Structure 1
C-alpha cells in the first residue's frame, strides 16, 4: 500500500496567475481526501500535478517513498477517473476494463480475475457486452471507476466524476462510490465543488480558496469548527448566517439585543458572528429571547422551511437572519428567537480567522 504526500506544491502560470500556492498535505492508505472549493481555487490543478499532467513550478509529489515529481504519468502507477468518463466508444464494457491491463501486458488469467472482482463490486455482470452508447450515465460512470480499480494502482484520482449526472442519479452513484472506497485501501483524492459529495464520501476534506489551503480536517470538524469565515460560509447548506457586528464591552450588538462575546485577549471594536440556520431556535418557555423579528420570506425545502426574518437594528438597516422551521404558515409572523452561545462562531473582521479555537 502507498502514501501520497504533497510538499510545498506550487504552480505559477504568470506572475498574476498562481492557481496553487504552497500546498502541503498527505493522504494515507484507506484515506479519502476531497479537494473542495469554488471554481478557480486550484483543486483540479493539484490533481493534474499528482497525475503528472502538469509540472509543478515548485514542490514535490511523493507516492510511498518515491519522489515522482518528474516522472511521466504512465510511470506513477496512478488511476484517474475523469468527469467525461473517457471510455472507448467502440469497445464493450469488458473490453474497456481489459484495455489498460493489456497495454501493461498483465497475464490474461490475471486480467480476467481482476475484471471478475471489480464486476462483482460494481454490479457490472449484466453489462459486460454493452458498449458505452448503450449505457446510462450512472452505468458509464461505474465502468469508468471499474477501469481504474482493475489497475490496482497506488493512488486513485477522481476529477468531479458525478458532475454530469442528474441529481437523483448522482445520489445513487455517490452511495456506490462510498462502498467502493471502503473496500479498496489505496489513497483516494477526490476533486469536487459539491460540498455534499465532499462531506459524505471523505475521511478528510481540504477546503481551498484562491490557491491556498484554508482548512484540512475531518468533515464533521470542517462543519462544526470552521477555521475561518470563508470555510464557514462555503460549507453548509443553507449557508451560515454571517454578520459584522459592533462590540460594546463584552457584548456584540445584534439588532437591538446584546450577545455575550467569548473570552478574548482583547475586545475588538467589531466582530463577525456566524450562526447556522439550524441553530436559530424559536423561543420556548424555558428559554431567554435573544432577538425578535418579522418573517418576510419563506422557502419550502420539503422537510423544512427556510425562513428569512428581518431583525430591527437601531444602528442601521435591519439584519436578515435565516433559520430552518417545520412546514407551517410563517409569512408575516413576528418571531421571538433564541441563540445558544455554544453554537455561535466568532471570526476576526480583518483576517477572517476563527477567534474560538477548538
Structure 2
C-alpha cells in the first residue's frame, strides 16, 4: 500500500514554455485519479514526472513515505501503460509479460505464478504463444495492462491507453479497466483528454489547463459544480450554454424575462456569465416561471435526443443562442418555442476571472416590464 503525493511540482523548459505550474495532488490507496484536459495542458508531463522520465524543475514527489523526486524510474516501483502499448514485437505474450520480472531477477517459479494469475484475470490464456502482430488492438492493450499488473507496483500510471481503439472496443476495455483497477488497492493515475473516460473511471478528476490544476474533485462535483468557465465549458457534452449578459440591478435579462441573481453575489458586476447545461433546458410547462422564447434554427439528431439550437432575441445584448437536449418526440424544427431554465440548474461566473460565483438560486423570476 502506498500514497502518491505531488507538492508544488513545476517543470520549466524555457521562460516561455512551462508545461507544469505548481501542481499539488494526493492520490490515496483505492483512488483512481484522472488528469483531464486538452492537448498541451501539461497532463502527460505530470505523468512523466511521476514516472521519472522527466526531472522536475522544482517540487517534490513522494510514494508512501519515500521521496522519489530524484530517483531513477526503475527505483520507484511504478508501472506505466503507454498509448502505443510498447510491447516487444519479437516476443510472445508470455515473454512480454515476463520481461520486467526477469530484469528484476524474480525467481522463475514466482514469475510463472504471477503471469498465470494475471493471464486468468485478463483472459489471456489462449494468447500466450502469440506475438503482438498476431493480435487485435484490444488484445494488445490487455497484454500491456497485464505487463504492468505482474509487477505488483506501488503506483499505476496510464497514458491515454484507449485512444488507439475504436469506439465499441474502447467502451468494453474501459469497463474492464474500471473493475480491474478497483481490485488493485493502489493509487492509479490516468491521463486522457476524453471526458467520458474521466467521468466513468475516476474517483477523483484533476482538470488541467495551461499547466495549472483548475479543479480537483470527484467527477460528479466536477460536472455539477464547475469551479470556473474553463471547467464548465470543457466538461460536459453537449457543452454548457455560457451566455454573457448585462446586469440590471440584481437581475439579468434574457429573452424578455428578468432572472434574479443569487443573494450570495454581494457585489453585482456590470456583466455576468449565465451557464446552464443543454440537458437541464426543457420545454416550458404552465407552472414554470423562468422561461425564454425563441426560434429553432438547428436540430441535430443524436439518437435518443435531439440537440435543438434556439435563437433568443435579447433586448440589451442582441440575439443569443441557447441549446437544449430534448427527447426525440419533442422535435420543434423551424418554429417558435418556449423553454424553461430551472433556477436550481443555473450557474453564474465572473466575466473577468472566469471563477464561479454561485450555482443555486431559488428566487422567482419576474417578467420584464
Shorter-normalised TM range = over 0.9
- Show CA shifts across 1:176-222 (max 9, x none): 10011111111000000000000000000000000001000000000
Query: What is the correspondence of 1:197-216 to structure 2 with a 5 Å cutoff?
Result: 197-216=197-216
1:255: how far off?
A: 2.9
Partner Cα distance (2:22, 2:229) in 1: 21
Q: Is the 8 A contact 2:347 2:359 kept in 1?
A: no
Partner Cα distance (1:326, 1:356) in 2: 29
Deviates more, 1:218-227 or 1:177-186: 177-186
Q: Is the 8 A contact 2:246 2:316 kept in 1?
A: no
Partner Cα distance (2:290, 2:207) in 1: 35
Query: What is the correspondence of 1:275-294 to structure 2 with a 5 Å cutoff?
Result: 275-288=276-289, 290-294=291-295
1:44: how far off?
A: 0.4
Query: What is the correspondence of 1:1-358 to structure 2 with a 5 Å cutoff?
Result: 1-263=1-263, 264-288=265-289, 290-328=291-329, 329-356=331-358
**How many equivalent pairs are there?**
358
Unaligned runs of 5+ in 1: none
Partner Cα distance (1:357, 1:190) in 2: 29
Partner Cα distance (1:311, 1:161) in 2: 42
Q: TM-score, normalised by structure 1?
A: 0.98
Q: Is the 8 A contact 1:289 1:336 kept in 2?
A: no
Partner Cα distance (1:316, 1:239) in 2: 21
- Show CA shifts across 1:249-276 (max 9, x none): 1111113221111111111111111100
Q: Is the 8 A contact 1:81 1:158 kept in 2?
A: yes
- Show CA shifts across 1:302-329 (max 9, x none): 0000000001122343110001111144
- Show CA shifts across 1:118-177 (max 9, x none): 112111111111111111101100100000000000100000001111111111110110
Q: Is the 8 A contact 2:257 2:290 kept in 1?
A: no
Deviates more, 1:93-102 or 1:112-121: 112-121
1:286: how far off?
A: 2.5
Q: Is the 8 A contact 1:262 1:356 kept in 2?
A: yes
Unaligned runs of 5+ in 2: 361-369
Partner Cα distance (1:179, 1:119) in 2: 15
Partner Cα distance (1:83, 1:24) in 2: 25
Report runs of 4+ in structure 1 exceeding 4 Å deviation.
Answer: none
